Amino acid sequence: MTKFASTLLDEVYDIPVSAWVYPENRLDGFSDYGVATKVLKYFIDNIGPYSYAKLANMQAKTQWGGLENAGTIAYFENSVNGKNEVEGLIAHEIAHQWFGNSASENDWNHVWLSEGFATYFAILYQESVYGNDKRKEELELDRKQIIDYYLQNPSPIVDPSITDPMKVLSINTYQKGGWVLNMLRHKLGDKVFWKGIQAYYKAYRDSNAMSADFQKIMEEISGEDLEEFFQQWLFTKGHPELKWDWSYAKKNLQINIEQLQKHHVFKFPIEIGVIKDGKTVIYQMDMENARKSLTIKLDYQPDDVILDPESWLLFEEKSN
Ligand SMILES: [Zn+2]
């Protein structure tokens, strides 16, 4: 028990949004937690109706960065300093009100349906405020963690062999789960992706789902067979480890890509950025085999060629 200073920050579609902080953190806390109103509006507008009567944001003693209790989120004590440094955390915990609290996994091994979703929806919110570069920046940080984690923990996102519930909360279920949604969005396009997300929330609001239920809804909405996509990203360990090179001669740009990991041949589209005078032109190639070459007719010698300039594919670049 403690004394709080509290304030009604605003009402968003009749949902009261409040901040509860220790009296000595009053001004900083009301300012930092103020973004909760923007976040709530973004998720209601893009996902669907909020499932609870209020949204309270509370400074608290918690062993976690944040804890997404339905309608009353607890944030760690030092989350308030008046510098707006926890906007991503606030967006993550508020996203849980949709995914994790309302539409929740039916089995703990499928917790990416909560944590991967909250991770990616926090990125989506930040992208909506700060632009596409913010999405790329966040995903690149996550990519590094995923690659490091895999070296020590070569397991898939959904791994029923992990029996310790705490170990299911990992870089795999958070950051890699988020990356899966980023790749799904790229595969389906923004319009279909959001339509699918809305349909999934509508179907499983105040209910429980498995990964297969999410897959089924995304297939219904997109009309695409997503079996391979979900199998390789959720139920197969690792990611493409790519060795590649490019060369230019006789107005042909040649790109050779090879998957080095031995346990599975991933299938994915990959974008290739051709850079000249600071401008990037993007080409796409579908990788279905362990190796592939692509020749692009090009009138000019590129200054550089890069893989995945827009951060749409989870892979590891291996040096030659
Ligand atoms: Zn979370």
pLDDT 10s digits, 252-277: 999 999 999 999 999 999 999 999 99
Average pLDDT over residues 86-90: 96
Mean pLDDT of 19-26: 96
Tell me what the mean pLDDT of segment 85-111 comes to: 96
pLDDT for 63 beyond 90: no
198 pLDDT higher than 70? yes
CA 116 to ligand 1 center in whole angstroms: 8
* Residue 283, strand partner residues: 272
Give the type of residue at 226.
Answer: L
Spell out the residues 6+ positions from residue 18 whose beta carbon is closer than 8 angstroms to its own: 6, 7, 8, 9, 54, 55, 56, 57
Q: Which residues make up the environment of ion ligand 1, defined by Cβ < 5 Å?
A: 115, 118
Q: CA–CA separation, 55 vs 36, rounded Å?
A: 8
Give 75 Cα–ligand 1 centroid separation in angstroms: 12
17 forms bridges with which residues in the sheet?
10, 55
Contact indicator for 186, 202 with CB cutoff of 8 Å: no
Using alpha carbons, select from 219, 235, 211 the residue that is nearest to residue 103. 211
Chain segment 37-52, per-residue pLDDT in tens: 999 999 999 999 999 9
Q: What is the mean pLDDT of residues 237-263?
A: 96
- Residues ≥6 apart with Cβ < 8 Å to 289: 265
Q: What is the mean pLDDT of residues 289-296?
A: 95
In sequence order, the β-bridge partners of residue 258 are 243, 291
Sorting pLDDT into bands at 50, 70 and 90, what band is 239?
Answer: very high
pLDDT of residue 91: 98
Cα of 49 from ligand 1 centre, angstroms: 20
Q: How confident is the model at residue 64 (pLDDT cuts 50, 70, 90)?
A: confident
Q: Per-residue confidence at 62, pLDDT binned at 50, 70, 90?
A: confident
In the reported structure, the alpha carbon of residue 298 is separated from the centroid of ligand 1 by a whole-number distance in angstroms of 46
pTM of the model: 0.96
Measured in whole angstroms, the distance separating CA 229 from the mean position of its chain's CA atoms is 16
Average the pLDDT over 215-221 and give the result.
98
CA 94–ligand 1 middle distance (angstroms): 9
Task: Quote the CA–CA distance of 117 and 179 in Å, as a whole number.
Answer: 9
Average pLDDT, the chain: 96
263 and 295 Cβ atoms separated by less than 8 Å:
no
Apex 29 CA angle, 19 and 64, nearest 5: 80
- At 1, is the pLDDT very low, low, confident or very high (cuts 50, 70, 90)? confident
262: amino acid identity, one letter? K
With 80 as the cut, is the pLDDT of residue 320 above it?
A: no
What mean pLDDT comes out for the span 97-113? 96
State residue 273's pLDDT score. Answer: 97
**Which helix (H) or strand (E) covers residue 17, if one does?**
strand 15-21
Percent of the chain with pLDDT over 90: 97
What's the 3-state SS for 41-106?
HHHHHHCCCCCCCCEEEEEECCCCCEECCCCEEEEEHHHCCCCCCCHHHHHHHHHCCCECCCEEEC
**Cα–ligand 1 centroid distance for 66 (angstroms):** 8
What is the DSSP annotation of 164-217?
-HHHHSSTIIIIIHHHHHHHHHHHH-HHHHHHHHHHHHHHHTTEEE-HHHHHHH
**Arithmetic mean of pLDDT, 292-299:** 94
Structure tokens at 308: 């995945």
Q: Return the bridge partners of 282, or none.
A: 273
SS3 22: coil
What is the separation of C-alpha 37 from the centre of its chain, rounded to a whole number of angstroms? 21
Residue 310, pLDDT > 70, answer yes
CA of 93 relative to ligand 1 center, distance in Å: 6
Residue with structure tokens 């967006």? 91
pLDDT tens column, 166-180: 999 999 999 999 999
